[in-house]
Structure 1
Amino acid sequence: MRDIADKVDLSACRLCVIGNLGSGKKNGRQQAQAIRDALEGRVAEFALRETDRGEQLSGLARQAVEDGFDIVVAYGGDGTQSAVAGALAGTETVMGVLPGGTFNYFARDMGVGETVEDALETLLDARIRRVDVGQIENLVFLNNISLGAYPHILKTREGIYKRWGRSRLAAYWSVLVAMRRLRHPMRLTAKVDGRSRRFTTALVFVARSAYQLDAFGLDGADAIRAGNFAVLIAKARRPLPLLRSAFRLAFGLSAKDSDFDLIITDSLTIETGKRQQLIAHDGEKTRMASPFHLRVRHGALKVLVPADGSSKTEDGGA
C-alpha cells in the first residue's frame, strides 16, 4: 500500500454513500440521517443510496461510478465494503469506509475507526491510500476467502442470527454448531509458481487482512502488508481436531507448524475434487466452479484514510 501525498479537499468532491440497511445492529434510518447531517453541505454534491438487499450493492456502486461521483462511501459490514470495492477497483473513483457490521475487519485494517462517528471524522480529514485487493475469478475480496468448514459456518450463522439476532457471541456459537455437522475433509491441489502440492484438509483460509491475522495470533500478517496472500491450510481433517485448533486460536496459542501449513504468494490456483464448491468471501458465500484462480491486484483500490497517518483502530490498526 502507498499513500497519495495530497490531502483530499472534500468540499470540491461529489460524494455518494452506498448504505446497507441490513448490516449491523443499530437503527439504519437513524444512522443514515446522522451520516447525512455530517456530510451534506461539506461536499460539492451529496447523495445517499440505500438498500436492504446485499445483492444490489455492487450495482449501486457501479452506477455511482458511472454517474461521475469522485468518492463512493460504503456504509455497512465487510460484505458491503467488499461489494463496493469490487465496483471501484481499477477505477479512479475513491472509496470511503463507514463500518456498520459485526467485525469490520477492513475498517480496522485501514485505521479509519471502528465506529461510524470515528470514520466520519476520517472522511472529513483524509488522504488517499492505494490498497491491494484479492481476486478469485472475477470476484474481488478485501479480507479473506475460505473453503471447507468456514462456508458451512456462515450458513449455520445465518440461521442463528435470524433466531437470536446479530452479535459476536452468536457468531462464535455458530462455529461450535457447524463443527458438529462437519463430516468429510476436502482433497485439493494448490499450484504456486508451477509447483503443485496436495492436501487433505477441513479448512483453507486465504487471508488478505493483516489485522485479522494479528487478532487471531496467526503468522502471515507481514506477508500481507508486503502485497501477498497468506494461505493457511488446516492440518486437521476432522471436526474435533479443527475445534481444538479454533480454541487455541482463541487463546493465542496457535502456530502454523502445529495447526496450519502456510503458503505465501500473490497468485495461486486451487483445484478441488468437486466441480463446484461453496466459497466464503468477506462474510458472504458463493458457489463457484473449480479450479479457482486467485491473485493480488496491487494498488487497485483508492481508499480514504486518516490524513495524518494515524490510526483510529483501538490497537493501532495495520
Structure 2
Amino acid sequence: MRDSADKVDLSACRLCVIRNRGSGKKDPPELLRSIRDALQDRVAEFELRETSRGDQLVDLARQAADDGFDIVVALGGDGTQSAVAGALAGTDVLMGVLPGGTFNYFARDLGVGETFDEALATLAEARVRSVDVGQIENLVFLNNVSFGAYPHILKTREGIYKRWGRSRLAAYWSVLVALRRLRNPMHLTATVDGRARDFTTALVFIARSAYQLDSFGLDGADAIRAGNFAVLIAKARRPLPLLRSAFRLAFGFSAKDSDFDLIITDRLTIETGRRSQLVAHDGEKTRMVSPFHLQIRHGALNVLVPADGRSKTQDPKA
C-alpha cells in the first residue's frame, strides 16, 4: 500500500455518490439528506446517482469516472464497494467508502468507520491510500472469492433474507441450512509457481480481507497485508465435518493445520472438475468457466482513508 500524507482538498473536487438501493439495510430519506448536507457544500460539484440493480453499478461508476468526477463514493455493502472498485481500479479516480451492508469488511479493513457518521467524517478529512485488489479473470474483488459450499450458502441466504429480512443472525443461520443440504465434495487442482496440487474439498476460500481473517481467528492476515492471497482449502469433504469446522471458527478454536490447508501467493490458477462453476465474490455470486486465473493487482485502487492515520474501527479481537 502507498500512502499520501497530504489531505485531499475536497473544495477542488467533483464528487459523485453511487448508491445501491437494494444493498444491505434500507436507507431512510433523512440519512441521504445528511450525506448531501455533509458533502454538497464541501466540494466543487456534488451528484448522487442511484440504481436498484446491482449489475448496473459498474457501469454507473465507470460513467461517473468518464464524466470527469475526481471522487466516486460507493454507498452500500461489500458487493457495492466491490463493483465500484472494479470500475475505478487502474484509474486516477479516487474512491470513497460509505458502508451500508451487513458486514462491511472493506470499510473495516480500511478503518474508515462502520457508521455513516464515521465514514462521512473520513471523507471530510481524508488522505489517499493506494490498496491492492484481487482479480479473478476480469472480475475485481476486495474481500474474498470462494468455491464449493459458500456459493450455495449465498443462494440459501437470499431466500432467508427475503423471508426474514437482512441481519447477521439470518446470515449465520443460512450457513447451517446450506451445509445441511451439501452433498458432494469438489475436486480441484491449484497451480502456484508451476506446481500443481490436487484437492478434494467442500470449500475453497481465497481471502483478501485481513480484517475478516482476524475476526475468525484464521492464519493468513499478515500475508494479506503483505500483498498476497490467503487461500484456505477445507480438509472437510462432507457436511458434518465442515459444520464442525464452522462451529470451531465461530468460537475461535479453528486452526489451519486441523481444518484448512493454507496457500500464500499473489497469483494462482484453480481448475475444477466442472467446466462451469458457481463462484462467490464479496457476497455476490457469478457462474464462471474453469480454469480460473487469480492475481493481486498491487496498488491498483486509490481510496480515501482517515487523514490522521487512526482507524475509526476497533480491532476485531477487542
TM-score between both structures, scaled by the size of structure 1: 0.98
Equivalents in 2 of 1:296, 1:159: separation in Å? 33
Aligned pairs, number: 317
Equivalents in 2 of 1:143, 1:29: separation in Å? 29
* Deviation of the 1:27 alpha carbon: 2.9
Secondary structure of 2:263's counterpart equals strand
Report the residue type matching 2:150 in the other structure.
Answer: Y
Secondary structure of 1:113's counterpart equals coil
CA deviations 1:156-197 (Å, max 9, x no partner) are 000000000000000000000000110000000000000000
* Deviation of the 1:279 alpha carbon: 0.2
Partner of 2:192: 192
* Deviation of the 1:33 alpha carbon: 1.7
Is the CA contact (8 Å cut-off) linking 1:223 and 1:230 kept in structure 2?
yes
Moved over 4 A (4+): none
> Any unmatched runs of 5+ in structure 2?
none
Secondary structure of 2:41's counterpart equals coil
Partner of 2:131: 131
Partner of 2:108: 108
Partner of 1:180: 180
Is the CA contact (8 Å cut-off) linking 1:58 and 1:86 kept in structure 2?
yes
Equivalents in 1 of 2:217, 2:127: separation in Å? 30
Report the residue type matching 1:291 in the other structure.
Answer: P
Partner of 1:39: 39
Equivalents in 2 of 1:107, 1:125: separation in Å? 16
Partner of 2:94: 94
Report the residue type matching 1:108 in the other structure.
Answer: R
Kindly indicate whether residue 209 of structure 2 is the aligned counterpart of residue 213 of structure 1: no
Secondary structure of 1:62's counterpart equals helix
Greater Cα offset, 153-162 or 33-42: 33-42
CA deviations 1:51-109 (Å, max 9, x no partner) are 11111110100000000100000000000000000000000000000000000000000
Equivalents in 2 of 1:28, 1:139: separation in Å? 31
Partner of 1:284: 284
Equivalents in 2 of 1:214, 1:61: separation in Å? 30
* Deviation of the 1:6 alpha carbon: 1.5
Partner of 2:50: 50
Equivalents in 1 of 2:316, 2:187: separation in Å? 38
Partner of 1:266: 266
Report the residue type matching 1:242 in the other structure.
Answer: L
* Deviation of the 1:316 alpha carbon: 7.2
Greater Cα offset, 15-24 or 232-241: 15-24
Equivalents in 2 of 1:183, 1:37: separation in Å? 52
CA deviations 1:243-268 (Å, max 9, x no partner) are 00000000110000000000000000
Report the residue type matching 2:263 in the other structure.
Answer: I
Equivalents in 2 of 1:316, 1:68: separation in Å? 37
Identical-residue share of aligned pairs (%): 82
* Deviation of the 1:314 alpha carbon: 2.0
Report the residue type matching 2:168 in the other structure.
Answer: R
* Deviation of the 1:28 alpha carbon: 4.4
Partner of 1:315: 315
CA deviations 1:256-284 (Å, max 9, x no partner) are 00000000000000000101100000000
Partner of 2:253: 253
Report the residue type matching 1:57 in the other structure.
Answer: L
* Deviation of the 1:126 alpha carbon: 0.4
Secondary structure of 1:40's counterpart equals helix
- Return closer, same or farther for 1:316/1:153 CA change in 2, 3 Å cut-off: closer
RMSD, aligned CA: 1.0
Equivalents in 2 of 1:2, 1:212: separation in Å? 22
Equivalents in 2 of 1:67, 1:255: separation in Å? 48
